[in-house]
Structure 1
């Protein structure tokens, strides 16, 4: 159905740094408020559904341009000189990988991943957090990792800064202010990692 040429609806990803820009099949370039190339498929799906139900292209374009994510789901927040991608509503292995890869692709000179535990992984907990640690090594991303499970990421990647709890993370953030940096904040909901935003 979408988004490749020859499909019912065709559109292309122009950029995602930090927010997604698409070129529609009508030739319009539409800037959205959604972060990450991983959201391109969602935008393409919305445009495809709009076409199917006879929504005017201009109205569909306006709708995706006007949508502003909230509730800590890929929100872009400007905090001082920092651009923060606040994605602390939830985290699982696939969404964590997508968010980290997206951060790595951004052109920002300074980047920092502040990430916390992924919950409800049962017997896969240690292995999946180790995988995050190895991914951070592969992507060469500076990271502050927080939570009991993230010790597994720190074990395989000694370059990350590990904090067993948010109090220690906050203390570090206060003592080491971040500036002119694109920051990703991501963790499972139970971590409440969005509270670190106040200290950036």
Structure 2
């Protein structure tokens, strides 16, 4: 609250498992979403069945709910709107490929969203966890350090295979390769797609993510074509 201490208007807070004005509690994560109580103060709660993967999306729901409250939208309508929303293409979509679960988050990437997508990979992992990650662009002088940090952080996680795409993600690969686990560093998403085709098997969990300019959707297009050819 320190950042708004001098603000003269109304402040509405939101959070998870705390005493904010609007909050979520009793959260139960599922493979493709979450169930939780959305509360507009104590004693005024509604069960929400959210069809969006990723724990971070609960914060997005809370922010949207606050806006709804400000505009006097009936809480029942807020619930209906939240539960009917299925997400948008290319943003943390859950797909199936060769019997594997694929988290397709190919629209764009920055360090924070990259970490969230990788967390979702680890959370959903049942067999092998495969990360296919492209460069995070437009980070300026921070770019190399950001990719190195991602590689160091990933190295401590139970990720079985890493396919790095692009010269910046190669920096992350240089850290991950120290683990001795299977990894590849390639220049294009097409190359990554062909490698994934040869690796992918039933029971794997895969995340595909990168900045828009990396065209990471091509990884999935190549694999979908291979699957259709069977």
The offset of 1:63, in angstroms, is 0.6
Alignment match, 2:136: 118
Alignment match, 1:171: 194
Matched, 1:2 2:14: yes
Give the stretch that moved more between structures: 129-138 or 99-108: 99-108
Partner deviation per Cα, 1:55-101 (whole Å, 9 max, x = no partner): 22221111111112223112222334222221111101111112212
The offset of 1:139, in angstroms, is 1.2
Alignment match, 1:15: 29
Partner deviation per Cα, 1:12-69 (whole Å, 9 max, x = no partner): 2322534233222244332222221111110111122222322222211111111122
SS in 1 for 2:22: coil
Which among 33, 42, 60 is matched to residue 78 of structure 2?
Answer: 60
RMSD: 2.0
For structure 1, which runs of at least 5 residues remain unmatched after alignment?
A: none
Which among 148, 152, 166 is matched to residue 171 of structure 2?
Answer: 152
What is the TM-score with the length of structure 1 in the denominator?
0.89
- Equivalents in 1 of 2:97, 2:37: separation in Å? 30
Alignment match, 1:187: 210
The offset of 1:103, in angstroms, is 2.2
Is the 8 Å Cα contact of residues 95 and 103 (structure 2) preserved in structure 1?
yes
The offset of 1:137, in angstroms, is 0.5
Aligned length, in residue pairs: 200
